[in-house]
């Protein structure tokens, strides 16, 4: 593949120094449109917005070109490793305190560069699309300001070279998503949806933060306790810590290497080889826990974080509601880029993920259940955007399954292909809405193929791609994940094989509801309930992106094709994507490959590289059959009254109401929290603390004062009588004493 | 440079001088009065910036020292000086000063002169409390803050102002009187008659040996046999003294359960009052803990760490939950202060570098963000004179620029990265995890991240989004130029402090290091030393310029280019 392009001809140093421009351009665009937007004409607004993202796209192309060159490598400041095919830049300290430090450091390796292309490429197309879609909107400049800001934040997320900087992008995209979901804020429901998204994301961010803090502790413990000769004990590591802080990814990769080092101080036992990771921590706040245990907890907290951002169980509920935003936003943020951040995170820290088979299994299980549940809900939805939203949730579930079985490249390939075909379909849905008076109910559409041919054909390509029909990109990406589930082994935890069958069911469901969506919208007769008598095809700024994305949905299959690689150093049936990402996932693979011998549990190398056609074929046939049945049912090829079987009606209702998950959460958590807050306020704060304690003290003081007042009322007669009384009592007492 | 040795006098007393000037102006010249006050605050800001710029992070602990003997028979002197934290808070106070005046430009129309005199005197008192290096001087300024604040709330507040002002006054007075008692006690403990001094460094140094003995004894009974008289007294009565200091400062912070004055005071206070209260006055509590309660009683600080941490954690979560139960926006912001100040306290109680740094930074953040929240809400209040969320809705349509500002501050308040709040909160939480506190404490504190978003976005939602429900809200005017200029500095600070925190952190860093070392000398389980022995020794002892010979009313200027003590210079920063 390197042979296809000439070597990058310009000095790499210049490109490294200019990496920040990729982020700064959209940021500048957001600034111009945000501050001066009202004074600018619409034309200038979208020129600024599109040009800034387009500029970033060109720079990203340069980056990916440069990453083909072997002279692009980054020495790891923490160990003797180098990251091959990577560029990095460090723009100084962000903040430091005590032993902690974070830099403004950027890292572009092949993983982040691929994401860069997706973000800026798809992002540019969606900006272009938006110029037409948002044409008549009053908040034109505001919209493009937010959209540019989003792109900048997403680019920060993928270019960050430390977890903290990644978190900037992580929260930043959540923020933009909040702003864009609630873009039409005068509709209360839409504004609520934005808030729901942000708070659900924040629950995930809580997990992210806790995981990061635990990692800091883990690094500190490893520095103190690791066996001699491992990276963490080297002088270089301490220099690295001083320069870049413990949460730089390079530090974490050195940590991973340290954790799988042989540890002679441990007793060798039969099923647990003497690795440092199995030792118990002796110093610091984590004293008593084992490194492996803490790592599992860290990954589970990251899973919570990723579940928030990538809409997995139990935090997926915000994504369907997020469809309240403008449709291009749904395409860019809630399908192509932001929601894949969780997958990206796990890919970024793949070398940590493989350290804990238990966490991997959990990731896979969560992904699988999400894929299945979302697919089932999608069956019964009638809103075109809602169906696509649930399908996104479901596809993200597939990506998590990929992470869970250690096929990071496959999960990431699915991120890329999904970005193409799902963005294509979302934009298609937007085009449908645009041409049909904002109608979103597919039962009130129909027969659009003749009126909107561009939209229909591109949507069909998207549908076929997500279903996994052969010459389209969804085939290899999804089926590679299923294949991984079938063949991989997490030795201690035997779940993957079960998940494989559930995954097949989810794939079948996907095919069914996607074909249903396509057929009901574009085939058959126009529904009599349609808002407009005739639909109209959208203008070129909308159809052009559709076309480009449809082409990409087809072409992207090349990345997944095995037996394609002429390079001499590649394994015979590696896919292009796998080979391309080898420098990124190399460490994870090494740890995973040696798992059998090193960790005593982990991934099986033997099956890792042998792709079996039968496995691919099985998944493909199932999807094809399911899609076929759906087409048969909804195309009305079969004459006669189509009636939904009465027995299944309650089930359909149940699915239509999204299994009442929202209501359940409302009842279990939100109402509880509100009740708790009200109760605490009323009984503890207002009554116990303020009324009883504070005012009580004041009143007691007042009361005592009043009582004492009575003793000094200034009345001489009263004083005299008191004296007399006291005298009398005293005398009586004395008398009694004397007498007895 | 000798100009800088008198600088703090100007920082402290210039506002007072302008207050005197104001007294000469006729009361009905409202414009003149406002301009004079603004000018005074701006001059104060210049001196504040000057002080901040003159402070050298690598230099001695207390800089810009100025000393004059005063009431020397009682052991009191007029001694000013700032460390890193104090100078940062001085800058914060100076920045808020002019904004406070601008915020009330149209809000106060009655008794304008009295109002501005109060503001200026309050500024002097706050600056004085921050700059004092004599504990009694600190106490005087600390109490002096109450009086102008009492009038600001009680005279210029809303309907139930008198009640709130009285509550505020009594609440804080109770705590500080107990503190005075403890302070006198410490003073008498500190040495034989004639050598005693209220000078902060002298007091601290004289107690240090006794504190060592006490902490050894508290760790192991074997060391309890031959305690010095001071140490024995400290051992027995230290908890009470620490308790008195802690109570006084906890009320100011405010910590749960002595926080109930805050919502009332904030609700009733005018915008300016709320801004100063949230922006600076609350920090006097955390500053007091930092400067006095912890270093003077380190053994007790360790002993009661768990109690204080528990209260801080309750403050964080409970404060946030309280916010969810409020209808009144000012009350909600007040409770959010309880939650945020809980983070400050938690960070300080980690007794550990990252957490303490986070706490120090969070103090500044809270001043900026919550000050800005009150400022912005004040603009809305000025237009509608309504405080309930239900009375608003759809404001974003009528007041777009205002909405943008409010949302930016909201995100700073909930600590979105890139804004100031994130740096402080992140460091506090990191410190909590790294400290000796149990893991669940850190996890519980981190849930504050979720609650914070829940209540702040709720406010934004109810006030700014949705349809316009009340006709009067539809025709509101967006902020004018004066209001824009008032809010803009804070909005810019939010981003500046979020993206370039390092210059400020570097000023704070030596103070953090010393605070941690001083508390750590009494650590029950000295597993982890944060500093090398040499640097620890440097950090532990306090060095200030020697007291000049008692020559009443003669100004002795300290030449700080010449260290008065040979070992006056802490080691070079790495």
Give the residue carrying structure tokens 């690598």.
Answer: B58
**β A73-75/A82-84 pair status:** antiparallel
Total Cβ atoms within 10 A of residue A171? 27
CA–CA separation, B70 and B54 (whole Å)? 26
Residue A92 within any structural domain of the chain: no
The alpha-carbon gap from A14 to the nearest alpha carbon of chain B, in Å, equals 24
pLDDT digits (tens, 9 = 90+) for B475-502: 888 888 999 999 999 999 999 999 999 9
Tell me what pLDDT residue A637 has: 60
Read off the pLDDT of residues A301-322 as tens digits, 9 standing for 90 and up: 999 999 999 989 888 888 888 8
pLDDT of amino acid B47: 93
Contact B357 A97 (CB under 8 A): yes
Residues of B in contact with A304 (CB under 8 A): none
As a whole number of angstroms, the distance between CA B79 and CA A160 comes to 48
DSSP code for A684: I
A residues 482-541 closer than 8 Å to B (CB): none
Q: How confident is the model at residue B557 (pLDDT cuts 50, 70, 90)?
A: very low
Q: Collapsing DSSP states into helix, strand and coil, what is residue A95? A: strand
Q: Are A456 and A522 in contact (CB under 8 A)?
A: yes
Total domain count for chain A? 2
Write out pLDDT tens, residues B257-307. Answer: 888 889 889 999 998 999 999 999 999 999 999 999 998 998 888 889 999
Q: Does A701 touch chain B (CB under 8 A)?
A: no
Yes or no, beta carbons of B457 and A96 under 8 Å apart: no
Residues of A in Cβ contact (< 8 Å) with B436: 285
pLDDT in tens, B425-467: 999 999 999 988 889 999 999 998 899 898 999 899 888 888 8
- A184 Cβ under 8 Å from any chain B Cβ: no
In a domain, residue A269? The reply is no
Name which of A410, A607, A589, A615 is nearest A500 in CA terms: A615
In a domain, A329, yes or no: no
Answer whether A287 touches B (CB < 8 Å).
no
Q: How confident is the model at residue B204 (pLDDT cuts 50, 70, 90)?
A: confident
CB contact under 8 A, B446 and A206: yes
Best probe of the B interface among A685, A687, A692, A697, by most B CBs < 10 A, is A685
For A205-221, the pLDDT digits (tens) are 999 999 999 999 999 88
- What gap in Å lies between CA A140 and CA A491, rounded to an integer? 55
CB pair distance less than 8 Å for B436 and A285: yes
The two structure tokens encoding residue B169 = 């006054």
Residue A714: its pLDDT value, please? 79
- ipTM of predicted assembly, 2 dp: 0.89
Residue A314: cis peptide before it, omega within 30 degrees of 0: yes
User: B413 and B369 in contact (C-beta within 8 Å)?
Assistant: yes
Query: Which of A97, A198, A285 lies nearest to residue B358, judging by beta carbons?
Result: A97
Check: CB of residue B477 under 8 Å from CB of residue B395.
no
B78-116: pLDDT as tens digits: 889 999 999 999 999 999 999 999 998 888 888 888 899
What is the predicted pLDDT for the residue at A247? 92
Do A431 and A545 share a domain, yes or no?
A: yes
The CA distance from B345 to B360, in Å, is: 10
Going B92 to B97 to B100 to B105, the CA torsion angle's sign is: negative
A448 and A390 fall within a common domain: yes
Residue contact A185–B427, C-beta within 8 A: no
Indicate whether A666 and A632 sit together in one domain. no
Query: What are residue A162's DSSP bridge partners?
Result: A248
Question: Shortest CB distance from B322 goes to which of A100, A168, A685?
Answer: A685
DSSP B29-78: -HHHHHHHHHHHHHHHHHHHHHHHHH--TTS-SSEEEEEEE-SGGGT-EE
- A596 contacts chain B (CB < 8 A): no
Q: Does the beta-carbon distance from A198 to B453 stay under 8 Å?
A: yes
**A609, A624, A648 - which closes a domain:** A648
Are A644 and A711 part of one and the same domain?
A: no
pLDDT at B444: 93
For B83, residues 6+ apart whose C-beta sits below 8 A from its C-beta are B61, B62, B63, B510, B511, B514
User: Are A565 and A523 in a shared domain?
Assistant: yes
Which residues in A lie closer than 8 A to residue B430 (C-beta atoms)? 100, 213, 216
User: Are A581 and A437 members of one domain?
Assistant: yes
Q: Where among A648, A674, A695 does a domain terminate?
A: A648
> Are A608 and A693 in the same domain?
no
Residues of B in contact with A97 (CB under 8 A): 353-354, 357-358, 427, 505, 509, 512
Are the C-beta atoms of B448 and B347 separated by less than 8 Å?
no
DSSP structural state of residue A231? G
- Interval B55-72: pLDDT, tens: 988 888 888 888 888 888
Question: Is the residue at A509 inside a domain?
Answer: yes
Question: Within this chain, do residues A591 and A734 fall inside the same structural domain, yes or no?
Answer: no
Cβ–Cβ gap B453/A172 under 8 Å: no
Same domain, A569 and A638: yes
A192 touching chain B per CB within 8 A: yes
How distant is the Cα of B297 from the closest Cα of chain A, in angstroms?
23
Count A/B contacts: CB-CB distance under 8 Å: 150
Distance CA A610, CA A487 (A): 9
Mean pLDDT of B368-373: 93
pLDDT at B231: 84
The residue among B320, B450, B495 with the most chain A CBs within 10 A of its CB, best to mutate, is: B450
List residues bridging with A251 in a β-sheet: none
Contact indicator for A428, A455 with CB cutoff of 8 Å: yes
Residue A446 falls within a domain, yes or no? yes
Contacts of B71 (CB under 8 A, 6+ apart): B77
Residue A510 in domain? yes
User: What is the residue-wise DSSP string for B81-96?
Assistant: EE-HHHHHHHHHHHHH
Residue A316 lies in a domain: no
Position A470 in a domain? yes
A220 has a chain B CB within 8 A of its CB? yes
Q: Say what the pLDDT of residue B6 is.
A: 85
Rounded to a whole number of angstroms, the distance from the CA of A187 to the nearest CA of chain B is: 5
* The predicted structure's pLDDT at residue B131: 93
d(CA A134, CA A139): 9
Highest mean pLDDT among B223-227, B229-233, B355-359: B355-359
A324 — contact with chain B (CB < 8 Å)?
no
Give the pLDDT of residue B1.
Answer: 44
| Boundaries of domain holding A644 | 356-648
Residues A420 and A559 in one domain: yes
Asked whether residue B568 carries a pLDDT value surpassing 80, the answer given is no
Give the gap in angstroms from C-alpha B438 to the nearest C-alpha of chain A.
Answer: 8
Final residue belonging to a domain, choices A614, A648, A682: A648
Backbone φ, ψ for residue B304 (5° rounding): -105, 15
Q: Is A213 on the interface with B (CB under 8 A)?
A: yes
Closest CA–CA distance from residue B357 to any residue of chain A (Å): 6
CA-nearest residue to B509 within chain A is A97
Say if residue A620 is in the same domain as residue A705. Answer: no
Quick one: pLDDT band at residue B396, thresholds 50, 70, 90? confident
pLDDT lower than 70: segments of chain A: 1-5, 268-273, 489-493, 562-573, 593-615, 636-646
Residues A643 and A676 occupy one common structural domain:
no
Contacts of B353 in chain A (CB under 8 A): 97-99
């Amino acid at each position: 593949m390197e042979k296809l392009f000439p070597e990058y001809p310009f000095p790499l140093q210049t490109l490294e120094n200019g990496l920040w421009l990729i982020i700064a351009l959209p940021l500048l665009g957001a600034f111009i449109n945000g501050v001066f937007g009202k004074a600018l004409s619409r034309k200038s607004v979208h020129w600024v917005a599109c040009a800034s993202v387009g500029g970033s796209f060109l720079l990203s192309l340069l980056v990916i070109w440069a990453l083909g060159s072997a002279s692009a490598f980054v020495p790891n400041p923490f160990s003797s490793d180098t990251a091959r095919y990577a560029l990095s830049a460090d723009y100084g300290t962000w903040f430091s305190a005590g032993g902690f430090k974070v830099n403004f450091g950027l890292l572009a390796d092949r993983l982040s560069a691929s994401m860069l292309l997706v973000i800026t490429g798809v992002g540019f197309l969606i900006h272009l699309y938006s110029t037409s879609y948002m044409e008549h909107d009053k908040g034109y400049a505001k919209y493009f300001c937010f959209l540019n800001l989003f792109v900048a934040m997403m680019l920060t997320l993928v270019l960050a070279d430390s977890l903290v900087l990644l978190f900037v992008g992580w929260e930043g995209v959540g923020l933009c998503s909040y702003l864009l979901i609630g873009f039409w804020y005068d509709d209360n429901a839409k504004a609520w949806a934005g808030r729901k998204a942000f708070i659900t994301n924040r629950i995930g961010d809580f997990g992210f933060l806790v995981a990061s803090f635990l990692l800091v502790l883990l690094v500190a413990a490893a520095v103190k306790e690791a066996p001699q000769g491992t990276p963490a004990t080297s002088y270089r590591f301490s220099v690295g810590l001083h320069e870049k802080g413990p949460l730089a990814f390079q530090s974490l990769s050195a940590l991973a290497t340290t954790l799988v080092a042989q540890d002679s101080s441990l007793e060798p036992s039969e099923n647990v080889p003497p690795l440092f990771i199995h030792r118990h921590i002796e110093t610091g706040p984590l004293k008593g826990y084992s490194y492996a245990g803490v790592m599992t907890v860290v990954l589970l907290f990251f899973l919570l974080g990723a579940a928030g951002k990538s809409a997995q169980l139990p935090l997926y509920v915000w994504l369907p509601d997020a469809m309240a935003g403008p449709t291009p936003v749904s395409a860019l943020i809630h399908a192509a880029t932001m929601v894949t951040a969780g997958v990206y995170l796990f890919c970024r820290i793949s070398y940590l993920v493989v350290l804990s088979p238990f966490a991997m299994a959990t990731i896979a299980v969560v992904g699988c259940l999400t894929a299945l549940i979302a697919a089932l809900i999608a069956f019964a939805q009638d809103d075109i955007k809602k169906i696509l939203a649930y399908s996104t949730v479901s596809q993200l579930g597939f990506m998590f399954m990929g992470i869970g079985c250690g096929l990071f490249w496959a999960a990431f390939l699915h991120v890329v292909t999904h970005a193409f075909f799902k963005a294509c379909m979302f934009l298609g849905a937007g085009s449908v809405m645009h041409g049909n008076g904002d109608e979103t109910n597919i039962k009130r559409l129909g027969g659009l193929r003749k009126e909107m041919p561009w939209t229909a054909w591109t949507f069909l390509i998207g549908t076929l791609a997500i279903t996994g029909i052969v010459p389209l990109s969804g085939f290899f990406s999804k089926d590679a994940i299923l294949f991984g589930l079938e063949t991989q082994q997490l030795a201690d935890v035997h779940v993957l094989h079960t998940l494989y069958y559930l995954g097949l069911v989810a794939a079948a469901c996907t095919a069914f509801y996607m074909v249903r969506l396509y057929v009901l919208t574009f085939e058959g007769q126009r529904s009599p309930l349609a808002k407009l008598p005739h639909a109209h095809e959208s203008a070129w700024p909308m159809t052009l992106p559709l076309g480009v994305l449809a082409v990409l949905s087809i072409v992207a299959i090349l990345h997944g094709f095995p037996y394609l690689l002429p390079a001499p150093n590649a394994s015979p049936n590696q896919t292009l994507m796998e080979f391309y990402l080898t420098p990124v996932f190399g460490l994870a693979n090494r740890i995973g490959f040696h798992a059998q011998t090193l960790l005593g549990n982990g991934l099986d190398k033997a099956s890792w590289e042998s792709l079996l056609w039968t496995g691919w074929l099985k998944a493909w046939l199932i999807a094809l059959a399911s899609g076929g049945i759906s087409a048969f049912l909804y195309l009305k090829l079969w004459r006669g009254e189509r009636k939904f079987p009465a027995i299944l009606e309650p089930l359909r209702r149940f699915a239509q109401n999204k299994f009442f998950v929202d209501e359940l959460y409302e009842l279990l958590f939100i109402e509880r929290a509100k009740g708790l807050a009200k109760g605490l306020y009323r009984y503890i704060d207002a009554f116990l603390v303020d009324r009883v304690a504070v005012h009580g003290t004041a009143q007691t003081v007042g009361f005592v004062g009043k009582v004492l007042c009575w003793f000094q009322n200034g009345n001489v007669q009263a004083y005299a009588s008191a004296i007399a009384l006291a005298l009398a009592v005293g005398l009586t007492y004395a008398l009694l004493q004397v007498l007895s | 440079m000798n100009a800088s040795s008198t600088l703090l006098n100007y920082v402290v007393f210039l506002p007072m001088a302008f207050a005197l000037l104001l007294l000469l102006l006729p009361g009905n010249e409202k414009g003149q009065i406002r301009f004079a006050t603004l000018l005074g605050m701006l001059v104060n800001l210049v001196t504040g910036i000057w002080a901040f710029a003159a402070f050298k992070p690598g230099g001695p602990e207390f800089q810009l020292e100025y000393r004059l003997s005063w009431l020397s028979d009682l052991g009191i002197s007029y001694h000013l000086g700032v460390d890193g934290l104090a100078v940062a808070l001085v800058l914060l106070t100076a920045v808020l000063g002019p904004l406070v005046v601008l915020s009330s430009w149209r809000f106060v129309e009655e008794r304008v002169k009295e109002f501005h005199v109060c503001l200026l005197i309050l500024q002097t008192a706050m600056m004085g409390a921050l700059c004092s290096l004599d504990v009694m001087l600190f106490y005087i300024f600390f109490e002096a803050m109450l009086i102008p604040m009492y009038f600001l709330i009680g005279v210029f507040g809303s309907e139930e102002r008198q009640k709130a002002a009285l509550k505020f006054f009594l609440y804080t007075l109770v705590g500080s009187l107990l503190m005075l008692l403890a302070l006198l006690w410490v003073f008498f403990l500190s040495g034989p008659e004639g050598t005693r001094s209220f000078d902060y460094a002298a007091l601290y140094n004289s107690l240090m040996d006794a504190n060592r003995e006490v902490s050894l004894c508290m760790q192991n009974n074997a060391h309890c046999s031959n305690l010095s008289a001071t140490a024995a007294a400290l051992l027995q009565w230290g908890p009470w003294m620490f308790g008195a200091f802690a109570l006084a400062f906890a009320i100011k912070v405010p910590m749960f359960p002595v926080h109930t004055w805050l919502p009332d005071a904030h609700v009733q206070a005018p915008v300016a009052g709320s801004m100063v209260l949230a922006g600076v006055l609350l920090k006097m509590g955390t500053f007091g803990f930092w400067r006095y309660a912890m270093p003077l009683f380190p053994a007790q600080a360790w002993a009661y760490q768990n109690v204080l941490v528990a209260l801080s954690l309750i403050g964080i979560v409970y404060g946030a939950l309280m916010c969810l139960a409020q209808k009144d926006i000012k009350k909600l912001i007040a409770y959010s202060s309880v939650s945020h100040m809980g983070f400050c306290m938690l960070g300080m109680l980690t007794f550990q570098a990252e957490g303490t740094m986070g706490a120090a930074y969070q103090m500044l953040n809270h001043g900026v963000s919550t000050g800005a929240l009150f400022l912005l809400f004040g603009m809305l209040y000025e237009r509608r004179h309504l405080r309930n969320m239900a009375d608003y809705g759809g404001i974003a349509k009528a007041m777009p620029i205002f909405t943008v500002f409010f949302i930016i501050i909201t995100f700073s308040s909930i600590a979105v990265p890139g804004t100031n709040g994130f740096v402080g909160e992140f460091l506090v939480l990191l410190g909590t995890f790294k400290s000796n506190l149990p893991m669940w404490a850190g996890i519980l504190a981190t849930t504050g991240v979720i609650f914070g978003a829940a209540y702040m976005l709720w406010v934004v939602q109810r006030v700014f989004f949705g349809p316009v429900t009340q006709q009067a809200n539809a025709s509101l005017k967006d902020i004018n130029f004066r209001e824009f200029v008032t809010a803009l500095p804070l909005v810019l600070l939010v981003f500046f402090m979020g993206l370039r925190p390092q210059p400020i952190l570097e000023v704070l860093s030596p103070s953090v290091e010393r605070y941690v070392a001083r508390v750590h000398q009494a650590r029950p389980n000295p597993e982890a030393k944060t500093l090398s022995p040499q640097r620890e020794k440097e950090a532990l002892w306090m060095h200030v310029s020697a007291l000049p010979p008692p020559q009443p009313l003669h100004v002795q200027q300290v030449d700080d280019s010449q260290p008065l003590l040979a070992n006056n210079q802490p080691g070079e920063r790495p």
